[in-house]
Amino acid sequence: MPDFRLTRRHLLASPLALAACGSAPSTPPLGPVSPLKDLAPCPVGVCGMSGQFDDAGWRDVVLTHFSQFTPEWEMKMEAILRPDRSLDFTLADRCADFATDNGLRLHGHALIWYSQGAEAFAGLDRKTFAADYDRYIREVVTRYRGRTVGWDVVNEAVAEDGDGLRTHHWSEGLGDIDHIRRAFDVAHEADPESILFLNDYNLENLPRKGATFLKLVERLLKAGTPLGGIGSQSHLDIDIPDGQITAFLREAGAFGLPVHVSELDASLRSDSRIDLRSAGERQARQTARVTELAQAFMALPPEQRYAFTVWGARDTDSWLRRDERDDGRDSPLLFDASGTATPLYDAVAGALASG
């Protein structure tokens, strides 16, 4: 199974480093289509960054088709936390205002992530480390209380291969489980109405990782953690076996919590040294996997469908198109560079409309 997803978090670009070119997908794009938000009985989300707000084409796609907005970068610790551990909300406020001004639900992403914050917290004694950890979460959540519907409280807690949890500065400073429970407790105290998510990736792609993630959910709930929802990023590997996505979402839904498909995309690229399949064959696999995901999501009880979110408005907005390996031809999203619907739009729209 291709494993390029496992290094995706090293590919984040600055909020202004946005790709500007693209090429046509192998199948001709669709013509004019209905707004996704009008077809779906649940919120339909998209991510974005403040550098895109003045892009008329981007705004047209987002405001036509989506009802929920996730800041891709500006509400992460990297954007808010200064080296002296003071907080700068300039960019995060822009994103919150964009959502408010345009009538979009706002989903906060992400409070605690293993890949950020190490430098600012390095060398602190445990008491100061814990106090500033709590303060960061409390101040961020409180600032957007009443504006965010939910938060990704802890992002990507499970090890890459699914063998237990990650080890990092947060777990070393506060404990592997305790830092997670603490983050949820502080966030819940700061905003009791917000739905608090544990969010991770490769849960559908790697059954071992999905199982470890769900065991963590069970452990946290049994300990009384105010975990309110399950977030599956759904950066789909198009070559996983049929039925694997459905099996994971069914198990995740068994907890009775809201489920968020939080970062959907599906790359057509292959990490195989030689891939003899035609572009059409790869696109058929892509469409089948995304259709399965959307159908499995819609099979959840209505009250558990928190939102179905895609990780980028247009192909050229995708983090996958910022990868140095990109050849300008990948089409991982629902709209192409011109804002015209791709076959993935049809896959998602058909499933969401059926609910």
Q: Which of 156, 172, 204, 251 is catalytic?
A: 156
Euclidean distance between CA atoms 291 and 301, whole angstroms: 18
Strand partners for 46: 69, 310
The letter for the amino acid at 219 is R
Q: How far is CA 252 from each of CA 44, 64, 93, 212, 320, rounded to the nearest angstrom? A: 19, 31, 33, 12, 27
Per the rule left: phi > 0, alpha: psi between -120 and 50, beta: everything else, 180 is alpha
Euclidean distance between CA atoms 282 and 26, whole angstroms: 10
Respond yes or no: is residue 324 known to be catalytic. Answer: no
List, in order, residues 6 or more apart from 269 with CB less than 8 Å away.
4, 320, 325, 326, 330
Which residue, 156, 141, 152, 219, is CA-closest to 187?
141
Q: Which of 72, 74, 204, 263 is catalytic?
A: 263
Respond yes or no: is residue 251 known to be catalytic. Answer: no
The letter for the amino acid at 245 is I
Cα 163 from chain centre: 22
Residues forming the active site: 156, 263
